[in-house]
Amino acid sequence: YEQHLTPDYIQQRHESTQQPGARYAPAAFVTGGLDPMQSREAFLQRLESLTCPVMVVVAEQAPPASKAEMDAMVVLPGVQSTRLPGTLGQAEEYGDTVAETIRPFLGSVTL
Protein backbone atom coordinates (compact mmCIF):
# COMPACT_ATOMS: atom_id res chain seq x y z
CA TYR A 1 0.00 0.00 0.00
CA GLU A 2 2.96 2.35 0.39
CA GLN A 3 3.01 2.84 -3.39
CA HIS A 4 -0.21 4.83 -3.03
CA LEU A 5 1.33 7.27 -0.55
CA THR A 6 3.24 9.21 -3.16
CA PRO A 7 4.69 12.68 -2.61
CA ASP A 8 1.87 14.09 -4.79
CA TYR A 9 -0.77 12.37 -2.64
CA ILE A 10 0.79 13.67 0.57
CA GLN A 11 1.02 17.17 -0.91
CA GLN A 12 -2.67 17.09 -1.89
CA ARG A 13 -3.66 15.99 1.60
CA HIS A 14 -1.52 18.73 3.13
CA GLU A 15 -3.05 21.35 0.84
CA SER A 16 -6.54 20.32 1.95
CA THR A 17 -5.59 21.16 5.54
CA GLN A 18 -4.56 24.65 4.47
CA GLN A 19 -7.96 25.68 3.08
CA PRO A 20 -10.16 28.23 4.90
CA GLY A 21 -12.05 26.53 7.71
CA ALA A 22 -9.85 23.44 7.69
CA ARG A 23 -7.46 24.67 10.35
CA TYR A 24 -8.52 22.28 13.09
CA ALA A 25 -10.07 19.44 11.08
CA PRO A 26 -7.04 17.10 11.10
CA ALA A 27 -6.46 17.57 14.83
CA ALA A 28 -10.14 17.08 15.60
CA PHE A 29 -10.22 13.90 13.56
CA VAL A 30 -7.06 12.41 15.05
CA THR A 31 -8.07 13.19 18.63
CA GLY A 32 -11.64 11.97 18.22
CA GLY A 33 -13.01 15.50 18.41
CA LEU A 34 -15.36 14.77 15.53
CA ASP A 35 -16.72 11.61 17.16
CA PRO A 36 -20.22 12.15 18.60
CA MET A 37 -20.10 8.90 20.60
CA GLN A 38 -18.57 8.80 24.05
CA SER A 39 -17.55 5.14 23.93
CA ARG A 40 -17.25 2.11 21.69
CA GLU A 41 -20.19 0.53 23.49
CA ALA A 42 -22.42 3.54 22.78
CA PHE A 43 -21.48 3.44 19.11
CA LEU A 44 -22.05 -0.31 18.82
CA GLN A 45 -25.46 0.01 20.49
CA ARG A 46 -26.42 2.73 18.03
CA LEU A 47 -25.12 0.70 15.08
CA GLU A 48 -26.94 -2.41 16.22
CA SER A 49 -30.21 -0.49 16.54
CA LEU A 50 -30.23 0.54 12.88
CA THR A 51 -32.98 -0.95 10.76
CA CYS A 52 -31.29 -0.21 7.45
CA PRO A 53 -28.67 -2.45 5.81
CA VAL A 54 -25.09 -1.84 6.96
CA MET A 55 -21.83 -2.77 5.29
CA VAL A 56 -18.40 -2.31 6.84
CA VAL A 57 -15.28 -2.40 4.67
CA VAL A 58 -12.32 -3.25 6.89
CA ALA A 59 -8.99 -1.75 5.85
CA GLU A 60 -6.41 -4.50 6.35
CA GLN A 61 -3.52 -2.10 6.97
CA ALA A 62 -5.43 0.27 9.25
CA PRO A 63 -3.72 1.22 12.51
CA PRO A 64 -4.38 -1.40 15.22
CA ALA A 65 -6.79 0.76 17.25
CA SER A 66 -8.85 1.65 14.18
CA LYS A 67 -8.89 -1.94 12.98
CA ALA A 68 -10.08 -3.07 16.42
CA GLU A 69 -13.04 -0.69 16.09
CA MET A 70 -13.85 -2.09 12.65
CA ASP A 71 -13.56 -5.66 13.92
CA ALA A 72 -16.00 -4.85 16.75
CA MET A 73 -18.56 -3.65 14.19
CA VAL A 74 -18.39 -6.61 11.83
CA VAL A 75 -19.46 -9.14 14.46
CA LEU A 76 -22.80 -7.43 15.05
CA PRO A 77 -25.88 -9.19 13.69
CA GLY A 78 -27.01 -7.84 10.35
CA VAL A 79 -23.71 -6.18 9.49
CA GLN A 80 -22.27 -7.26 6.17
CA SER A 81 -18.52 -6.93 5.92
CA THR A 82 -15.54 -7.43 3.70
CA ARG A 83 -11.81 -6.95 4.11
CA LEU A 84 -9.74 -5.13 1.53
CA PRO A 85 -6.16 -3.89 1.34
CA GLY A 86 -5.45 -0.36 2.40
CA THR A 87 -5.17 2.04 5.28
CA LEU A 88 -7.67 4.59 6.59
CA GLY A 89 -7.34 6.26 3.18
CA GLN A 90 -8.56 3.06 1.54
CA ALA A 91 -11.21 4.72 -0.63
CA GLU A 92 -8.52 6.95 -2.11
CA GLU A 93 -5.82 4.29 -2.26
CA TYR A 94 -7.99 1.58 -3.81
CA GLY A 95 -11.01 3.51 -5.07
CA ASP A 96 -11.85 1.14 -7.92
CA THR A 97 -11.63 -1.94 -5.69
CA VAL A 98 -13.77 -0.35 -2.99
CA ALA A 99 -16.35 0.74 -5.59
CA GLU A 100 -16.52 -2.73 -7.15
CA THR A 101 -16.93 -4.26 -3.70
CA ILE A 102 -19.70 -2.01 -2.41
CA ARG A 103 -21.64 -1.62 -5.67
CA PRO A 104 -23.61 -4.91 -5.27
CA PHE A 105 -24.45 -4.01 -1.67
CA LEU A 106 -25.67 -0.54 -2.65
CA GLY A 107 -27.65 -2.02 -5.53
CA SER A 108 -29.45 -4.36 -3.15
CA VAL A 109 -30.57 -1.64 -0.75
CA THR A 110 -34.15 -0.48 -1.06
CA LEU A 111 -35.42 2.59 0.71
Residue type, 47: L
Q: How confident is the model at residue 89 (pLDDT cuts 50, 70, 90)?
A: confident
Q: Is the pLDDT of residue 60 over 80?
A: yes
pLDDT for residue 1: 45
Residue type, 53: P
Q: Is the pLDDT of residue 56 over 90?
A: yes
Which residues have C-beta within 8 Å of that of residue 63, sequence separation ≥ 6?
Answer: 87, 88
Buried b (16+ CB within 10 A) or exposed e, 9-19: eeeeeeeeeee
Rounded distance between C-alpha atoms, residue 78 and residue 92, angstroms: 27
pLDDT for residue 11: 77
Q: Is the pLDDT of residue 109 over 60?
A: yes
Q: What is the pLDDT of residues 3-48, one digit of tens each?
A: 666 778 777 777 777 777 666 565 556 555 656 778 899 999 999 9
Q: Is the pLDDT of residue 2 over 60?
A: no
